[in-house]
Amino acid sequence: MLRWVRQQLGFDPPHQSDTRTIYIANRFPQHGHYVPQKFADNRIISSKYTVWNFVPKNLFEQFRRVANFYFLIIFLVQLMIDTPTSPITSGLPLFFVITVTAIKQGYEDWLRHKADNEVNGAPVYVVRSGGLVKTRSKNIRVGDIVRVAKDETFPVDLVLLSSDRVDGSCHVTTASLDGETNLKTHVAVPETAVLQSVANLDKLVAVIECQQPEADLYRFVGRITISQQMEEIVRPLGPESLLLRGARLKNTKEIFGVAVYTGMETKMALNYKSKSQKRSAVEKSMNSFLIIYLIILLFEAILSTILKYAWQAEEKWDEPWYNEKTEHERNSSKILRFISDFLAFLVLYNFIIPISLYVTVEMQKFLGSFFIGWDLDLYHEETNQRAQVNTSDLNEELGQVEYVFTDKTGTLTENEMQFRECSINGIKYQEVNGKLTPEGFSEDSPDGNRHSLMKEEELFLKAVCLCHTVQINADQTDGADGPWHANGIASPLEYYASSPDEKALVEAASRVGVVFTGTSGDTMEVKSLGKPERYKLLHVLEFDPNRRRMSVIVESPSGEKLLFTKGAESSILPRSKSGEIDKTRIHVDEFALKGLRTLCVAYRRFTPEEYQEIGKRLREARTALQQREERLADVFNFIERDLELLGATGVEDKLQEKIQETIEALRLAGIKVWVLTGDKHETAVSVSLSCGHFHRTMNILELVQHKSDSTCAEQLRQLAKRIKEDHVIQHGLVVDGTSLSLALREHEKLFMEVCKNCSAVLCCRMAPLQKAKVVRLLKTSPEKPITLAIGDGANDVSMIQEAHVGIGIMGKEGRQAVRNSDYAIARFKFLSKLLFVHGHFYYIRIATLVQYFFYKNVCFITPQFLYQFFCLFSQQTLYDSVYLTLYNICFTSLPVLIYSLFEQHVHPHVLQSKPVLYRDISKNAHLGFKPFLYWTILGFFHAFVFFYGSYLLMGEDTSLLRNGQMFGNWTFGTLVFTVMVITVTMKMALETHFWTWINHFVTWGSIVFYFIFSLFYGGIIWPFLHTQDMYFVFVQLLSSGSAWFAIILIVVACLFLDVVKKVLYRHLQPTSTEKAQMYSNRVALSDEFIALQPLSRARNQLSKISLLRQVQVSTAWTPCAASQMGKQHAHLLEECWND
């Protein structure tokens, strides 16, 4: 029961030690003092609430918002003291906002519960009591032996015990975890691999010791102790033995495994952890505006209270004959009366704080985010991928980006590798028609047309074919002839690889005659010009980012022990003692200058004594439970030394489509682009030049290969001096990882000064955490620029999470970047549409939405404040309580919501073809102090016109009806309210540039609804209302011609100045955006029409963009029908604009 309560409250049971001990099949020791460890059950809980805690937890979260908490206080004040308005006026809007939000969050959580129940209730088979027992996934315990069949997903994290294969191997795909679609091989230890039946497994006596759960998918440290015939055998367990929950079994009939991590302790569940909450600049502005309006509210309440007591200082006003005080009122404390009056005024004016703003913004963001997914321009047909929105809270931030940080491989490039060149024994080779041809030789020359391979070439290609993690489609490895036909020509094998580089190299080797034909157990098969060779795989030294290389130790057919190593030249060349090192280094630099990705290949022969020492060290390091990674790194460094260099490879990663245009558009929009990559200096610079990140005319500054603080600081000072001297020229900066570490250590300010004066920055040889550090450096600089990070791989996740906006590319390096991003797109080129169109629209929409909300609430409450001057500050309300309640909920809510979803103030094609328009909205231009002040002053001005316009008409007891009957205070308030509803709705109509039938329906429908509602509300005696002050008031008001005249006159008076201002500014001082609006109105950029224009201009434009179908000449103006190619030729609009 206690454990259940802890789980409901969200607490995990603390682990007592750094390791866990698991008894397979839960065969615990028989001695009495053993206390089993407590482990989590196998239930997955992704939901946020339970039935018991939904109401209190949701209410607590909602009332953490300042506006909600404020209205709760106002509602409680109305309940406790005598206030001028009913508690319903605050309670009902608050209840509406809280209920809508709770329903939305509750529905989302119900969907999570539903998904959890499906997963937790899935049927599984567990070995118990000597047989297979069918149970539910949630009932699996740590230590249970679980059977999983082909194409099923693993229900827990399992250590592989055996499979239907003799060697105990199986293939899995982890696409749902990291997006990698290649098949990964996992192996069982030899002692359990032979236990292929339930009966044999039931007799297994073994103990697993492993680390406590952690989120890293690729790290697992453990060991298994197997009791056999009175002896204990200890075997190491690593990531190759662990089958992760969520992965799927492939090409294997069935496996058995023991559950080691269950439920919320599985690696998949630990990777669910929520990302830190990002807040947009608009949200921060909104909170600042709320505080300003709260100050205005307090000022009005205090001023009204003071004026009330100043007025009542005169005896005749303190207790007039028609309102005598009670004995209790006369004897009450003056301080308490002052506080009570202050709170009463606070309640009277509280609607100046727009409670429905939050719920409207939330609905706008949630509904608006669907437009990104629906945009066919962001759909990639080849991969059938559309844009994806992971968070809708940052839509408007897409319109505020000042810096873009991008990865190179897979983001700017396709991550489709093609072998181009290689260097073998100091000689450069190219692949020509499936043959390796030395540089300078053609296929027709005697040496260029060889059918055999030299010894060095063959050894190099064998190294490429053996040192990798490539796998072959299982269906192709069957058959006696393997992949070779009788004529000795290879049929193409389908290779799978987690690294595109490895796949390209193995495919290239197969084309020139050395073919990797697959693995069988611990044997790797290679065919060299048709002759099969078998190598026994002894050890794999896995790749890691610190070593930047991987190695295999194999036994050749002759029994020789060989180490084959490949990796970055910086990690291979210093460890090589022989071979053509200098020539290869030159060739590697030449490859890099061509923009090729380079790898060096080397090998080493072991004597029997050396191999015995290596085997012993590897065993000790692999079975260590403490500091295993550090010990393995030491052993790997001991093994990978004294290498003999074989050569190097050059692989091309071609640029993605429209990269140059996209980067140039970002530059025109005032966005600085930084490329952060792990590639070497020369390769990165070459790609930057080819993709347009660096211009050929740009002055390239370098901060590379610095080993000390002093040299780095001196170089930074020289660079800063050069930039000041050549301030006219554009500069580009290249910095490498080691120099960056030095620069950030003690010279951060100087480094930032240099970077900000450069048009483009390229950081090479970057570690993942360095990428995040650079983003954080810019993000926290004094200017606080809005940053965007875009990448496609797991190494980009930290950068994506650090930036204000993180975008994942759906590439070939898995889905980790996509899962951790705010938005995901298929190609880098889609970034321009996402920022220049969607970002622009979202920002304009929400900026107008927020300021319009404050404007209409100033219009709403200011007449209430002015009215107090005419009623001796008696706290008499100007509006009926029903109008107070429904103003923000019904009468004025829909037009602004629809505007914030559909508004397009400039045509999308113009926004995309004119990136400079993006500058008009940068730095939160539409939500700065000036626009906020304008909307606030406009609200006060309109409120004064509403009130005093109505007062001039009715204030002097003018008879507005034919029978001479006077109007009362409720009629006056209703007239002000009617004028206000019409004016604020018409103001929204003036702000709307893009009209749809929905806009027309809600704009004019809101006004019609107000009139119909008022007629029904005031025209019928409602039995459930104990007072009905508004009975027949609205009908009487509308029966007066003078009232109609007043309504029209006041609305026109309010909006006339707005219209004049817009016209004058648009013609005398138009912004770039206003020019674009006039242009898009003049040249209607729909997919079907070019608007009416003078005949000569229409013909000219139609000839330019080849859209002319027919021109009907009738008068000086003509409609010109065009085919649906306008969108495809949007780049030619520039010429039309200039005309």
Residue of 144, 407, 653, 796 marked active site:
407
Strands (E), 1009-1127: 1089-1094, 1108-1111, 1117-1122
**Tokens matching residue 721:** 């001096």
Q: Which residues of 1069-1107 are buried (b: 16+ CB within 10 A; e: fewer)?
A: eeeebbbbbebbeebebeeeebeebeeeebbebbeebeb
524 backbone φψ class: left, alpha, beta (φ>0; ψ -120 to 50): beta
Residues in CB range of 45: below 8 A, 6 or more apart: 7, 116, 263, 264
Report residue 136 CA to chain centroid gap: 35
Residue 326 DSSP one-character state:
P
Residue 96: Cβ-neighbour burial (10 angstroms; 0-12, 13-18, 19+): middle
Residue 594: how many other CB atoms lie within 10 Å: 15
Give backbone dihedrals phi and psi of 423, rounded to 5 degrees, phi first: -120, 120
**Tokens matching residue 549:** 């290389």
In sequence order, the β-bridge partners of residue 124 are 135
Contact predicate 790/406, CB 8 Å: yes
What is the helix, strand, coil percentage profile of the chain, to 5?
50, 20, 30
Residues in CB range of 492: below 8 A, 6 or more apart: 483
* Gap between the Cα atoms of 814 and 807, Å rounded: 14
**Among the listed residues 296, 308, 306, 357, the one whose alpha carbon sits nearest the alpha carbon of residue 940:** 296
Q: Crossing angle, helix 628-639 and helix 608-623, to 10 degrees?
A: 170
Contact predicate 163/177, CB 8 Å: no
* Gap between the Cα atoms of 447 and 654, Å rounded: 31
Contact predicate 678/792, CB 8 Å: no
Query: Locate tokens 């049971």: which residue?
Result: 13
> Does residue 407 have an active-site annotation?
yes
Contact predicate 428/584, CB 8 Å: no
AA letter at 589: D
* Gap between the Cα atoms of 733 and 751, Å rounded: 11
3 backbone φψ class: left, alpha, beta (φ>0; ψ -120 to 50): alpha
Q: Which residues participate in catalysis according to the annotation?
A: 407
